[in-house]
Amino acid sequence: MKNNRRIFLSIFWVLLGIGLCIAYFVTKLDEYWNSLGIAFIAVGIVQIMRWGRYMLNPEYRKKMEVESKDERNRYLATKAWAWAGYLFVLICAIACIVLHILGQNTLSLVTSSGVCLLILLYWVSYLVLKRKY
Amino acid sequence: MKNRIEELRKERGILQEDLAKSLGVSRQTISSLERGRYNPSIFLAHNIAVYFGMTIEDIFIFEEEAL
């Protein structure tokens, strides 16, 4: 079931990419949409190739299943997200001060809003998890 | 947390790879456990104890300062 969903999603990315590329050539859309279409096609093809290998190679399938269920891997992934979030807040906070000093007040405001939003999301997540566990 | 996994595994002549396969985890997890760098969940600790036919307390050395 999960594999079917993945392959459908991969095909969806490829079709969406093709659609965007066609739209670019037919309606003379912005170059941005053509690049986005190519990116979607590339992502879809890579995912389909991975899925093919997963289905055709039992050894690879077993390895991937162990890797995805391995509790240390899950712990590392959670820890990595926590570090990434913490570093993001730290970098944004420093950028906010530096941008204000440089007179880039709009950018400084956007950056500080990003920090506030992330801290707000942290507290909401914390409260939800507190109720759950 | 210190543990006796490496000692017990070597006593029985088991490879990290084989132990990992039996427990359904990666070889890196076994290596990390043996070096005391990763503390297992209660489920994995239980599975390890069952695998070696011992209790969790026999394998994992609980220390006051770790609590």
The helix (H) or strand (E) run that includes residue A71 is: helix A71-101
ipTM score for this prediction: 0.86
Alpha carbon distance A7, A87 (integer Å):
34
Q: Is A77 on the interface with B (CB under 8 A)?
A: no
Q: Which of B16, B27, B29 to mutate to test the interface with A (most CBs of A within 10 A)?
A: B29
Alpha carbon distance A92, B49 (integer Å):
46
Instruction: Select the residue of B20, B24, B38 nearest A69 (Cβ to Cβ).
Output: B24
The answer, yes or no, to whether residue A2 has pLDDT greater than 70, is no
Instruction: Select the residue of A66, A73, A75 nearest B24 (Cβ to Cβ).
Output: A66
A19-60 residue pLDDT tens: 999 988 888 778 898 899 999 999 999 999 988 898 889 888
Coil, strand, or helix at residue B25?
Answer: coil
Give the pLDDT band (50/70/90) at residue A64.
confident
Q: What is the CA radius of gyration of chain B?
A: 11
- CA of B22: which chain A residue's CA is closest? A66
Are B58 and B5 in contact by the 8 Å Cβ rule? The answer is no
The pTM of the whole model exceeds 0.80: no
Q: Would you list the DSSP string of B28-62?
A: HHHHHHHTTSSPPPHHHHHHHHHHHTS-HHHHEE-
Chain B residues near residue A72 by CB distance under 8 angstroms: 25-26, 28-29, 32, 38
Q: Residues B29-58: what's their mean pLDDT?
A: 95
Are A119 and A89 in contact by the 8 Å Cβ rule? The answer is yes
pLDDT of the residue at A90: 94
- The shortest C-alpha distance from B10 to chain A (Å) reads 22
Are B49 and B56 in contact by the 8 Å Cβ rule? The answer is yes
Instruction: Select the residue of A66, A71, A73 nearest B41 (Cβ to Cβ).
Output: A71
Q: Is A71 on the interface with B (CB under 8 A)?
A: yes
Q: Is B47 on the interface with A (CB under 8 A)?
A: no
The helix (H) or strand (E) run that includes residue A77 is: helix A71-101
pLDDT of the residue at B65: 57
